[in-house]
Structures are given as C-alpha cells and as structure tokens.
Amino acid sequence: MKSLDADNEDIPFSGAFSIEFRLSKQTITCTDYKYDEDVLALWNKVNPSFALKSMFGGYDELMEPVCNTFTAKEPFNQLGGYPYFDQIDPRTNDQELKMYDRVLLQIDSTRDGNSSIIWGDFRYCQYLSEIY
C-alpha cells in the first residue's frame, strides 16, 4: 500500500486554516432525500390547482428557484443540520443509511490563498449521526 505524500497531493488538504461557525437556522436542503416528500406536501397544500407528484417531475425551470429558496448559500461548512450533496444523497435508496439523519460535521471543498481542502468528486466530507 502506498503511503500518503503531502508533496504529491495524495491527501485532500494543503496548508492550515480554520473554519468559523455561527449559530443559524437551516431549512432542509434540496439534495436531502426527505426534501421531495416534505416540500411536495407543502407545495401541494399551497398550490392545489398545480399539484405535483414529485418536485423533480419535469418542471426543472420552476423547481430550481424553489430549491434555491430552501438552500443556503455556499460554502456548506457546518456542525449539525441537514447535509448537502452535489450528487444524489446516498441515503435515498438505502434503508440502513436513512437512520443517519443529522450532520455532526460537514466540510466543503475550500480554497483560501495557499491553503485548500478538496474532497474529490463529491466536494463535501460529511459525518452523519443517528438522532436519539
């Protein structure tokens, strides 16, 4: 097994930096597997004449601003709350993973001067936990 070599960028970070957190409220992110169900019920209650079967059922031009309304601005460095995924939520079709429902820590890929942290294709590092 090859050992990690920071000079050859085998590890996902370079330099040193800190993340500053502040307390804020967060709505469910549009990439959370529960978004479609939760927001769909609200949408259909408010818009009964334009009821939908899915928030992503072919109305992309309409749903993008709805998604942006519910999703905070980047970066998504956070303690607690709802996770954000660039691609599909891995819990979507996996019952065992659905029990991990809250973010303990999420770190977004970030570049600041000579320091950076890059998490590959998925852009985020997430540690999720069960709610007790």
Three-class DSSP labels, 19-52? CCCCCCCCCCCCCCCCHHHHHHHHHHHHCHHHCC
Q: Which residues contact 62 (CB under 8 A, 6 or more apart)?
A: none
Whether 7 maps to a domain, the answer reads no
* pLDDT recorded at residue 91: 93
Does residue 16 fall inside a structural domain?
no
- Mean pLDDT in residue range 14-32: 81
Residue 8 forms part of a structural domain: no
Domain-embedded: residue 47: yes
pLDDT at 126 over 80: yes
The CA distance from 32 to 59, in Å, is 18
Residue 4 falls inside a structural domain = no
Cα 94 to Cα 49, 55, 104: the distances in Å are 33, 20, 20
| Integer Cα distance of 67 and 106 in angstroms | 20
Residue 79: give the domain boundaries.
Answer: 25-130
Q: Please check whether residue 113 lies inside any domain of the structure.
A: yes
Look at residue 114 and tell me if it is in a domain: yes
Distance CA 120, CA 65 (A): 27
pLDDT at 1: 42
pLDDT at 4: 47
Average pLDDT (6-15) is 61
Residue 78 in domain: yes
Total tally of structural domains belonging to the chain: 1
